[in-house]
Structure 1
């Protein structure tokens, strides 16, 4: 019997991607719930798990109705709840906040490719959940003194317009550079904040990875995070802006992996994509060409780092293949 409302290729693809991301987050949240000794954090993590479980069930039901094979995603085999804590002091909620940033961006993209009412309703609901958890996570971290605010600035009193190309200059090391505008300051603060969390995450991954090339890949990622933090902090210091966007957390000495290498590699794969988008935003909306150039070069480094990770995932059979169109050329060629 033919479906009355079949999904389009773009909807099948984004739902598949959403399932991968949601099951990954659920496995990580399960571990953080198990290790958390702070009730407010456990409540926040537990509330998110319940919300995501509901939508994962919705996705599975939709796959069944449409005759789509259910993706594998991340399962209970990808998390070890008995592993000792790998992170402490609020890292769980700091990382949760970063994940919700990623999710909000993904749902915007997915909604733009949705035409089916049921699919759009799912993304509306997930967007609402992500915005709520992001807000609650931010307020929690501020209350605990874990999250640093961006620098305060003098409030603008007049409207000004840019006069001439000098506003964009900055590549000449011997010329004076103009002061950072508030948008550039916000972009740099966010980049340092995200990379501080990413550095802690991947340090923990490197510490407990067992496969040599996976461990080496995570160590390489640590250096890439450090490079970005150093680059952005130097720009701020050159502009006489001094502040610290710290995660307020540490990595423990545990070497017992709480997650499978498949999950850890996929987590870094998702964050690489988020980083490239973030650097592209920074490149376009930063008006000093020296900062734009540095953002573009960092995006290039992240791209090639991500490509290396994809090769490792494929080599070890950790990269689940997305749904694809029929190979018409192959069908025609084989029908001879």
Structure 2
């Protein structure tokens, strides 16, 4: 008989990270389900609650089989299902769509760090269910007229080649400023859309936290999102390109927290990580240098804000330590 392959440190790390993400997602879906009155949306939340619960159980089964301690993650203590709605129903779907988008990216990264057959299969399955969650959520939002589509463009009739480095400088061969290409527009548009959602999400969190330090942190994040939206929207508007205009929704007037401070801080941490990654990729694939000049300072500010959040979580005792490698020096000194 072949011996079962040992779980690698990378695989343990990906399982641990996924457990944090999935347990947080489940708590948020539970709350959205409890406060929603629309039958179709309620069925959507219920379906994904069951899927998330099964996914979490699969991770726990693998960890138990390896003799690993199950992480704390986020439990029922981190959600108050009796709290009144903090967000309007349509905006709750916007949050779901954004979290699914983040999940799809994370699953792809984790899959690329997997070697054991059952771990590869797990992340393949997680990718499929998360993609389905994203698809269904997108359909619901379009059906409600609450999702702005990127601008349309005339289809290319020929293949053009870059014939001068002026293209990279943001100029045409005649020296005038060239119009943004579709790749550049797609990254700008996505960043504006995600920050619009993030701005309203963090505003809601700022309303309900009772901790002055955390409230200040959330308020700073709201202002950072507004700054990013303004700067990137100007890039589109300068080329007469429509910016996202669909109303994404907003928080209600509730000041009763549906989630723990720990969960809200972790959620914003995920959004920061997503923002860093997407803006970095946007910088890489943008061929107009003025876009890099815009993106790079924003990336720095998002990073600094994320570090501030990590420090705040550690200070408040909300940070769960990831599994560590063996400290060989301590082992040698004990022998």
- Following superposition, the deviation at residue 334 of structure 1 comes to 4.5
C-alpha distance in 1 between matches for 2:245 and 2:127: 26
Please tell me whether the aligned partners of residues 197 and 248 of structure 2 are also in contact (alpha carbons under 8 angstroms): no
**1:163 equivalenced with 2:174 (yes/no):** no
- When normalised by structure 1's length, the TM-score is 0.95
CA distance in 2, matches of 1:322, 1:14: 10
After TM superposition, list the pairs within 5 Å mapping 1:233-252 onto structure 2: 233-252=233-252
Matches within 5 A, 1:215-254: 215-254=215-254
Q: Does 1:318 align with 2:318?
A: yes
Mapped contact 1:279–1:299 kept (Cα < 8 A): yes
**Structure-1 separation of matches of 2:188 and 2:85:** 31
Query: Matched residues in 2 for 1:144 and 1:136: separation?
Result: 13
Distance change (3 Å), C-alpha of 1:190 and 1:143: same
**Paired residues of 2:94 and 2:197 also in contact (CA < 8 A):** yes
Per-residue deviation, residues 85-111 of structure 1 (Å, max 9, x unmatched)? 110040111111111111111111101
Deviation of 1:148 after TM superposition, in Å, equals 0.4
Q: Contact (CA 8 Å) 2:23, 2:73: kept in 1 or not?
A: yes
Q: Distance in 2 between matches of 1:140 and 1:305?
A: 32
Judge conservation of contact 1:206–1:215 (CA < 8 Å) in 2: yes
Count of matched residue positions in the alignment of Structure 1 and Structure 2: 330
Instruction: For residue 149 of structure 1, give the secondary structure of its aligned residue in structure 2.
Output: coil
Alignment of 1:122-137 (within 5 A): 122-137=122-137
User: Tell me, what secondary structure is at the counterpart of 2:274?
Assistant: helix
Partner Cα distance (1:138, 1:48) in 2: 14
RMSD, aligned α-carbons: 1.4
For 2:107, the equivalent position in structure 1 comes to 107
Q: Could you say if the C-alpha distance between residues 247 and 154 of structure 1 is closer, same or farther in structure 2, counting changes exceeding 3 Å? A: same
- Helix, strand or coil for the counterpart of 2:31? helix
Q: Which residue of 2 aligns with 1:332?
A: 332
Residue number in structure 1 paired with 2:151: 151
Aligned to 2:304: 304
Give yes or no for contact 1:167–1:287 (8 Å, CA) kept in 2: yes
Matches within 5 A, 1:1-336: 4-170=4-170, 176-335=176-335
**Residues of 1 paired with 2:101 and 2:243: CA distance?**
22
Kept in 2: contact 1:87–1:250 (CA 8 A): yes
1:243-264 per-position Cα deviation (integer Å, ceiling 9, x unaligned):
3343431211111010000000
3-state SS, counterpart of residue 156 of structure 1: coil
Segments of structure 2 that go 5 or more residues without pairing to the other structure are none
Q: Distance in 2 between matches of 1:77 and 1:243?
A: 40
Give 1:170 deviation, angstroms.
4.2
User: TM-score, length-normalised on structure 2?
Assistant: 0.96
Q: Offset at 1:315?
A: 0.7
Deviation readout 1:251-278 (Å, 9 max, x if unpaired): 1111101000000000111111111000
Q: Call closer, same or farther: CA 1:311–1:91 in 2, change over 3 Å.
A: same
Change over 3 Å in CA distance of 1:73–1:247 after alignment to 2? farther
